[in-house]
Amino acid sequence: MAGCGGGGGAPPYYELSINSTVGGSVTTPGEGVFEYEPGESAGLVAEADEGYRFVEWTGDVGSIGDADAAMTYIIMNGNHSITADFGPKRTAMVAAGCWHTVGLKVNGRAVAVGDNNYGQCSVGGWRNITEIAAGYWHTVGLESDGTVFAAGLNASGQCDVGNWTDITYVATGGWHTVGLTSNGTVVAVGSNSSGQCDVSNWTDITRVTAGAGHTVGLRFDGTVAAVGNNSYGQCNVTDWTGIIQIAAGTSHTLGLKSNGTVVAAGLNDSGQCDVGNWTGIAQIAGGGAHTVGLKSNGTVVAAGLNAYGQCDVDSQSWTNIISVAAGDSHTVGLRSDGWVVAVGNNAYGQCNVGWTDITEVAIGGYHMVGLKSDGTVVAVGDNNKGQCDVSGWGDITRVGAGYEHTVGLEANGTVVAVGDNYNGQCDVGGWTNITEVAAGGAHTVGLKSNGTVVAAGRNDYGQCNVGGWTNITQIAAGYDHTVGLKSDGTVVAVGRNHRGQCNVGYWSGINQTAAGNYHTVGLKSTGTVVAVGDNDYGQCNVAYWTGITQVSAGNYHTVGLKSDDTVVAAGDNYSGQCDVGSWANIIQVAAGRFRTVGLEGDGIVVATSLVTHWNLLLALPPLRYPPPPPEPPPSGGGCFIATAAYGTPMAEEIQILREFRDRCLLTNPLGQGLVDVYYRVSPPIAEFITGHPGLKPIVRAGLVPVVAFSAVVVNAAPVEKIVIIGLVVLVSLVVVVWAIGWRRVGSRNR
């Protein structure tokens, strides 16, 4: 029985039961029941079928990194049962209220920012939403079953939609809500001071919209109906024909004709109705006193009041737009890549909808950090250790992201850090005169203004032994090693070196360094690149690169920014992290665990295999865990042949072998080489043993002297260990010489 190891010790394994609903499947590790060691991190990947999208993980989700992400992980701290929920594919969209903004993701979840005095942004619990609308101070969501949710101010009953059914479309006015039913009739609740809710006699309606005090309906035949406040002629639309879409501002009404032109009626004191010359329009939106039009080429035009810059939609970031929305004094656009942009009044944070105005990016294990031009920081992704809790940071000049922690350099040379602090990697509060920060797997490094370096955190491989470094101009941190660039262009490195990632002593003419999991990259002054260390995925195959101005290193891939602002990449591409060939106008790159991020010149972030809070296209592209190379962990695990023979990784004999590896072999170059060879050749042998149970007792018998020898060495004094290891090496050499001689004799006798 799972979790019952007997003898009062730790359980040998925990069970993970995985299922899925209709519309997709769990591809990693699959579906069924799987066994994991206590504390092990199990990767999860859910993939939707055609026409469906991933919604969320349900069940025992308390230990899941991100229950809303199709690619995530679960910590096995007990027996768990989870289900991947799928639903019909939906279209992302944005909506804008008076001082708040709402986004609908393709997984049917809603997000909102801005004024929340009445709870109008409290939409995080909504599920299976197909449409959203935002009124002055309330938000409405249409569920896939035709029912409606509402949140926010309800002083006029505008949120009393709980009994609505069979609704296909919703719209919100200032203090009222409108719903279109499947039979083309219309319902409305809320303020009716101007008759804006008198829609019970409408029929053959295909779309509805609402202004501050009026309601508009589009009929099947392309004509338009309107009721409510008509003080400025906003309801004078009865002569409109050939209309395919309608929109309403506070006191004006808009109609999009089939030929791509726009008509308008109502208040025009700020020019919000001056749209007669617009052509090629695909969608319209009405704000407080401005009008927005989305053109068929993905650009945007605007007319009307621009006191807050709400009409400034002609910058580079406002391209490839697929949907627009207009609030009282702000404008929102959804880009084809899922990112959201916004301009205008931001008094309540209603424009804080995306990764815009970013000056630097960094990627951690499963989170991403962005530094904005105003010195504030944004972060998205896994927050199980608080690594994304950066909303209170200000006056930041540089950022760094470790596996589960985030570091920020303040303008005064001090450092802040949040996230996992198990190894003290966030104990940087006393640092001063820092000019650069870097974050590794579980350690943090700081470069001081005098060229010396400080470090905090895990130091089991000496990755924090930087106290003697001088004349350093730049730093980088890998998972278990630290790299420093000296003022003369040479490089120093400390920490784990089992794959040669610290063999940088011969480098010269280096301008910048980067550190991946187990490899190190150097950018030379000539624009060429050198790399050492783990190359299992070709991440060090960068010798042919030219014209490079910046490098970054991920887990198992390397990224280079070229002088023409394009990007190249080499290494593991299982999750598409090297698919950067189409990127342009990039000014900075960052490589993470299984993804790559690029910062465009206009402050917009592009990414591979990345989903963030305000990226509404959750389904593009799928992110999958690559099969990791056979790397020995710092402690525990990895004894493939012994595990196959004993049937459990928790066997006492395996614990002895692990200790021998960690305390004896990994402490010297010869031992590291032997371990490296073992981890390359042993997995297929272990697989063969697992598939042939009859071999297990034979292998266990053969391991008896190995385990006994390991136990003696582990418990021996340091001098005794040297003698024993020396004897082993000597005997090994004798055996090798004998074998070579035997083969020669044998060949002469044949």
**Are residues 80 and 44 in contact, defined by beta-carbon separation less than 8 angstroms?**
no
Judge if 523 and 440 occupy the same domain: yes
Judge if 277 and 392 occupy the same domain: no
Instruction: Quickly state the pLDDT bin for 82 (edges 50, 70, 90).
Output: very high
**The pairing of beta strand 110-114 with beta strand 100-104:** antiparallel
Closest to 122 (Cα-Cα) out of 110, 130, 133: 110
pTM for the model: 0.57
- Is there a domain that residue 291 lies in? yes
The whole-number pLDDT of residue 606 equals: 75
Q: Count structural domains, the chain.
A: 4
The whole-number pLDDT of residue 676 equals: 65
Q: Which range, of 45-59, 196-210, 497-511, averages the lowest pLDDT?
A: 45-59
Helix (H, G, I), strand (E, B) or coil at 378: strand
Residues above pLDDT 70, as percent of the chain: 83
- Is there a domain that residue 634 lies in? no
In single-letter form, the type of residue at position 495 comes to: G
- List, edge to edge, every strand of the sheet that includes 41-48: 24-28, 41-48, 71-75
* Cα angle 109-113-118, degrees, rounded to a multiple of 5: 100
- Within a 13 Å sphere around the CA of 349, how many CA atoms are in the beta-carbon half? 8
Tell me: pLDDT of 464 over 90.
yes
State the sign of the Cα–Cα–Cα–Cα dihedral 351, 353, 355, 359. Answer: positive
Element (H, E) at 485: strand 481-486
- What DSSP character marks residue 497? -
Instruction: Quickly state the pLDDT bin for 353 (edges 50, 70, 90).
Output: confident
Judge if 485 and 578 occupy the same domain: yes
At 597, list the tokens. Answer: 């991020």
The answer for residues whose C-beta is within 8 angstroms of residue 695's C-beta and 6 or more apart is: 645, 688, 689
> How remote is the C-alpha of 149 from its chain's centroid?
28
* Cα angle 176-178-180, degrees, rounded to a multiple of 5: 175
Judge if 679 and 555 occupy the same domain: no
Residues above pLDDT 90, as percent of the chain: 56
CATH of the domain at 297: 2.130.10.30
In the predicted model, what is the mean pLDDT of residues 398-425?
A: 96
Tell me: pLDDT of 635 over 50.
no
**Are residues 456 and 471 in contact, defined by beta-carbon separation less than 8 angstroms?**
no
The span from the CA of 596 to the CA of 561, in Å, is 12
The whole-number pLDDT of residue 571 equals: 93
- pLDDT tens per residue across span 89-119: 667 899 999 999 999 987 788 888 889 999 9
Helix (H, G, I), strand (E, B) or coil at 749: helix
At 267, list the tokens. Answer: 């208040």
- Is there a domain that residue 589 lies in? yes
The span from the CA of 446 to the CA of 399, in Å, is 11
- Is there a domain that residue 533 lies in? yes
Instruction: Quickly state the pLDDT bin for 632 (edges 50, 70, 90).
Output: very low
- pLDDT tens per residue across span 153-169: 999 999 999 999 999 99
Tell me: pLDDT of 26 over 90.
yes
What is the extent of the structural domain holding 654? 640-715
From the number of C-beta atoms within 10 Å of its C-beta (0-12, 13-18, 19+), residue 574 rates as middle
- pLDDT tens per residue across span 671-724: 766 766 776 666 677 667 766 777 778 877 877 777 777 777 666 655 565 666
- pLDDT tens per residue across span 575-624: 788 988 888 889 999 998 778 888 887 766 777 654 344 555 543 333 23
- Is there a domain that residue 57 lies in? yes
- Within a 13 Å sphere around the CA of 97, how many CA atoms are in the beta-carbon half? 35
Distance separating the N- and C-terminal Cα atoms of the chain: 58
The span from the CA of 76 to the CA of 14, in Å, is 7
Judge if 574 and 704 occupy the same domain: no
State the residue for tokens 């402690």.
Answer: 635
- pLDDT tens per residue across span 427-461: 999 999 999 999 999 999 999 999 999 999 999 99
Beta bridge partners of 216: 209, 226
At 49, list the tokens. Answer: 């079928």
In single-letter form, the type of residue at position 35 comes to: E
Q: For 239-320, list the strands marked E by DSSP.
A: 243-248, 252-257, 262-266, 281-286, 290-295, 300-304
Tell me: pLDDT of 50 over 80.
yes
- Is there a domain that residue 602 lies in? yes
Torsion (CA) 628, 633, 637, 641 in degrees, nearest 10: 70
**Are residues 527 and 550 in contact, defined by beta-carbon separation less than 8 angstroms?**
no
Element (H, E) at 728: helix 718-749
Count Cβ neighbours within 10 Å for each residue of 472-486 and write b for 16 or more, e otherwise: bbbbbbbbbbbbbbb
Judge if 213 and 103 occupy the same domain: yes
The span from the CA of 115 to the CA of 413, in Å, is 34
Domain end position, chosen among 344, 376, 401 = 344
The span from the CA of 170 to the CA of 31, in Å, is 38
In single-letter form, the type of residue at position 423 comes to: N
Highest mean pLDDT among 10-19, 123-132, 523-532, 730-739: 523-532
Judge if 668 and 561 occupy the same domain: no
**The pairing of beta strand 129-134 with beta strand 110-114:** unpaired
- Is there a domain that residue 621 lies in? no
**Are residues 126 and 134 in contact, defined by beta-carbon separation less than 8 angstroms?**
no
The span from the CA of 356 to the CA of 369, in Å, is 12
The whole-number pLDDT of residue 320 equals: 87
The span from the CA of 433 to the CA of 380, in Å, is 29
Instruction: Quickly state the pLDDT bin for 325 (edges 50, 70, 90).
Output: very high
The whole-number pLDDT of residue 627 equals: 33
Highest mean pLDDT among 256-265, 571-580, 658-667, 719-728: 256-265
In the predicted model, what is the mean pLDDT of residues 301-320?
A: 92
From the number of C-beta atoms within 10 Å of its C-beta (0-12, 13-18, 19+), residue 379 rates as buried
**The pairing of beta strand 14-20 with beta strand 80-88:** parallel
The answer for residues whose C-beta is within 8 angstroms of residue 708's C-beta and 6 or more apart is: none
**Are residues 250 and 174 in contact, defined by beta-carbon separation less than 8 angstroms?**
yes
Judge if 321 and 370 occupy the same domain: no
- pLDDT tens per residue across span 506-558: 999 999 999 999 999 999 999 999 999 999 899 999 999 999 999 999 999 99
The whole-number pLDDT of residue 621 equals: 31
- Average pLDDT over all residues of the chain: 85
The whole-number pLDDT of residue 37 equals: 86
Q: Is 332 left (phi over 0), alpha (psi -120 to 50) or beta?
A: beta
**Are residues 604 and 355 in contact, defined by beta-carbon separation less than 8 angstroms?**
yes
The span from the CA of 542 to the CA of 560, in Å, is 9
At 697, list the tokens. Answer: 């007792």
**Are residues 425 and 458 in contact, defined by beta-carbon separation less than 8 angstroms?**
yes
Tell me: pLDDT of 628 over 50.
no
- Is there a domain that residue 577 lies in? yes
Total residue count of the chain as it appears in this document: 750
- pLDDT tens per residue across span 366-382: 888 989 888 999 887 77
At 294, list the tokens. Answer: 């989305």
> How remote is the C-alpha of 515 from its chain's centroid?
20
Instruction: Quickly state the pLDDT bin for 648 (edges 50, 70, 90).
Output: low
Beta bridge partners of 561: 550, 567
Judge if 162 and 289 occupy the same domain: yes
At 728, list the tokens. Answer: 């082993």
Torsion (CA) 272, 275, 281, 283 in degrees, nearest 10: 30
The whole-number pLDDT of residue 625 equals: 30
The whole-number pLDDT of residue 720 equals: 60
The whole-number pLDDT of residue 637 equals: 44
Number of H helices, E strands in the chain: 5, 49
In the predicted model, what is the mean pLDDT of residues 493-512?
A: 94
Judge if 50 and 158 occupy the same domain: no
The whole-number pLDDT of residue 250 equals: 97
Closest to 690 (Cα-Cα) out of 647, 658, 633: 647
The span from the CA of 526 to the CA of 532, in Å, is 18
Closest to 109 (Cα-Cα) out of 74, 144, 159, 160: 144
Q: Is 615 left (phi over 0), alpha (psi -120 to 50) or beta?
A: beta
Judge if 99 and 149 occupy the same domain: yes
Question: Treating both helix axes as pointing N-terminal to C-terminal, what angle do 718-749 and 696-715 enclose, rounded to 10 degrees?
Answer: 140
State the residue for tokens 């920012």.
Answer: 113
Judge if 565 and 705 occupy the same domain: no
At 298, list the tokens. Answer: 């993905």
- pLDDT tens per residue across span 709-741: 777 766 665 556 566 666 655 655 665 555 556
State the residue for tokens 């004191």.
Answer: 269
Q: Which range, of 215-229, 548-562, 732-746, averages the lowest pLDDT?
A: 732-746
The whole-number pLDDT of residue 351 equals: 84
In the predicted model, what is the mean pLDDT of residues 328-352?
A: 87
Helix (H, G, I), strand (E, B) or coil at 41: strand
